[in-house]
Amino acid sequence: MGELLRANIRAHSRRYMATALAVAISMAFVVVALALSSGLNASLTKSVRQQYEGVDAVVALNYDDPSERPLNEYIAVVEGVDGVDSVREFGYGYWDIRTSEGKVSPSVSVAHAQELVSGSLPSGPDQLALSQANADALGVGVGDSVTAQGAWGDEDQHTLQVSGILESSGGTTSGTDTVASAQALRAVDPTFEPNALYVAGSGELTAAIESAIDDPGVTVQSGADAMDEDLTQMQLGQGTMTVFMLVFPVIALAVAAIVVSTTFRIIFEQRRRELALLRTLGATSRQVRGMIRGETLLVGAVSSLIGIVVGAVLGSFVLVWIDVADGLSEGFAMQDLGQMAIVWIVGTLLTFLIGTRPARSVTQVSPIEALVPLDAEAAKRSHKVRVVVGTSIVAVSLAGLYFGIDMGEDIGFLVAFASGVFGFIGALLVCSVILPKVTYLFGAPFRSVVGIMARSNTVRNPERTGSTGTAIILGVTLITTMAVAAGSMRETLLTEVDSHRPYDLVATSSGISENVVDRVNGTEGVDTAVEVRGTDGTLSGNTLTLGDPAKATEDDQTVAVLAQPDLNSVAHSTVPVIESGEARVPSYLDLDSLEVCGDTQCEELAVTQDEDTDQILISPEDFDRVTDSSSIREIYVKLADDADATEVQNSLTSMDENLDVGGAAAERAMYTQMINTVLLVIVGLLAVSVLVALVGVANTLSLSVFERTRENGLLRALGLTKKQMKRMLVLEATLIAGSSAIIGVALGIFFGWVGTLAMPFDVAQTVIVIPWLQVIGVVAVAILAAIVASLMPGRKAAKISPVEALTA
């Protein structure tokens, strides 16, 4: 049997090619995902170890019952402990950093052992090190100066020198991309308090420091224990990330399982007579079954090994590409050989187990029955049970989706998600049965001889068409679901931003010159700008007096008063216009009416509470009646459609050092970029499952060509040209892929819609968006790829001469 096994593998190698390709692609995908996870884990581990390099003890607040004293008050105490060589603070702050070319607002950590591109780490209170990305945004290099201020804008500005440039891709710890000394952090923001004190020294420091501090609100542990604790937390998060990353390879693996199962079933059915002949020559059913299992085991082992090797190479390239590894050799070293061995075993066993059932069903047929030609019509089996089970699952899942959406919150989302997964499985069961009929109907417009034959071919073997199409449905559904969900989430978030912060950019200052206003209007990327005048006022009871706040008493409140014009020309949502005789005041002011008095007269105004403002807003007409003294306080800016929000914001900031520029444009761009990036990654990952499905299409057509060799020869003898033969197979692939893609799109739109409704968003309105261009693109790509997949089988069918085909 061993010799026969090797001979069969050589003889049927082409038939097994699609199986091997599907398994290899899936295994390569799994290895790349694991390589990415291992590489990121190694990079994060390296960062944590760098953070605790040379640290012998860590002093931190007890977060269950923290001390009322800040940690920096214990520095002198710790330094006085025997064996302590040095104490350094570790913590974070948030700064606005400016130059004439731009502004960035990074988190800033105390410098420790970050990796540098150039220069050195900051060593004094007047230095900082920037990431390469931030340095580029500010247009600075080593030795240049920047202006830093606390992100809340209440502190003085400080001039610092750039001592070094850090790697932007993760060489820093905890996500910070700017570092400075603790002295610099405290100078820029006097409210800075360290998160921990890192102690270097010798001897038993932990107990000695704990005894010296003698405060239950402060914890002391060794540097090794603190590092192990951080590594444990990181590994828990890494495990979650690994599970998430493996979701997509598992999906591809499920598609591959469908393709492999279909392939094995077709191959073994085609070999019924060959296997029956072996039985008649004396081979037992067990021996034949063992031979077939040996074939599946060998195919699985070899194809899984190829996939693992390819995946390891691709994984190394990915790690180098995302700057986790410095070279291919380091990328290989980051990958876990034990994981690869497990993947190889899983791929081999999966292929073997999938091939077991069709092998058993074929070998259970008696030799006499197997030698009788298989009637294609008799091969059609009823799948009423599958339809009933699938329909029942869908019905139950719809109920679960309804209750999950109605429940809301996190638990509701989990119920809806589980119901959606459950319903998707039921839908696939139903689709696998009805797809051949749908495909037949889909081909109704094709009335030519070639079209009629292609249409009929799709229902001649419903099992094969259903399995192949189901694999395409699976991939297209998931991609469409992600596209609808991402588009809807983006539009929902943007709508929410627009309703509360409808302006792209708002430039504010205590006084803006007309020159700055003209420059804002002339800035590239600015579509419309509206200036708002205002002044300061003193609120005493219900009376608002405009003018110098220095005259206010201790019981009075100082507020800003703005003459707000109609801002709808620069807003992304409808902004109520303040009418004459009306005042909008912050919601925290308990006012029934407001008398506004200026240097000319007083006006009694009706009050409307507004929780979205911290200023008093009145109409320009009322403002002009009560005072002649004002200055430009704000400029509201609407950007052009193709404008870069960050570039325009940097341009406006550089006009005046006292000009503070903010607004929703950067937030809107952040949401859009974040969702688009995630969508691109997810669609790219899911595309692998569609690729595997299209391998199944090519395999189905190839086996169909082999199965219909005599029929194709007869068609050629009756006058069918080579071109028509190719066109028939192209149309057959188009019908299968087209109908499957359309069903997948319909399911994807439904699941994307209900999934968005189930999201635990705290928003006023959930907006559902169907990105039709993306959806049409998915269908077009699926059909085009299926056409490409049909070219080789079509060429093979057309090459066979009628005489050779009729003698097959």
Q: CA Rg, the chain, in Å?
A: 35
Distance CA 93, CA 110 (A): 9
pLDDT of residue 620: 92
H-assigned helices in 501-556: 514-521
pTM of the model: 0.68
User: Who's near 187: CB < 8 A, 6+ residues apart?
Assistant: 125, 158
pLDDT of residue 239: 66
How buried is 799 (Cβ within 10 angstroms: 0-12 exposed, 13-18 middle, 19+ buried)? exposed
The residue ranges of the chain whose pLDDT is under 50 are 169-175, 374-379
Q: Write the DSSP string, 139-158.
A: T--TT-EEEEEETTS-SPPE
User: Who's near 538: CB < 8 A, 6+ residues apart?
Assistant: 544, 545, 547, 549, 551, 552, 556, 557, 558, 559
Distance CA 687, CA 706 (A): 29
Distance CA 164, CA 179 (A): 10
Q: Helix (H) and strand (E) counts for the chain?
A: 24, 22
Q: Which residues of 452-482 are buried (b: 16+ CB within 10 A; e: fewer)?
A: ebbbebbebbbbbbbbbbbbbbbbbbbbbbb
Copy the structure tokens of residue 699. 């395999």
Q: Is-contact 472 693, C-beta < 8 A?
A: yes
pLDDT in tens, 430-488: 988 888 889 999 888 888 888 888 888 888 778 778 877 887 888 888 889 888 988 88
Q: Which of 793, 787, 780, 737 is nearest to 458 (CA)?
A: 737
Distance CA 175, CA 806 (A): 70
Q: Is-contact 210 24, C-beta < 8 A?
A: no
pLDDT of residue 369: 56
Beta strands in 622-659 (DSSP E): 631-639
pLDDT of residue 75: 87
pLDDT of residue 545: 87
User: How is the beta sheet containing 196-201 ordered, strand by strand?
Assistant: 84-90, 196-201, 57-61, 218-222
- Rounding to the nearest 10 degrees, give the CA dihedral for residues 19, 21, 26, 27: 100
pLDDT of residue 160: 92
Distance CA 275, CA 289 (A): 9
pLDDT in tens, 699-734: 777 766 766 677 777 777 878 888 888 888 889 888
Copy the structure tokens of residue 801. 């001469």
Copy the structure tokens of residue 454. 């292609």
C-beta neighbour count of 592 within 10 angstroms: 7
- Show me where the domains of the chain are located: 55-223, 389-501+664-759+766-808, 505-662
C-beta neighbour count of 227 within 10 angstroms: 19
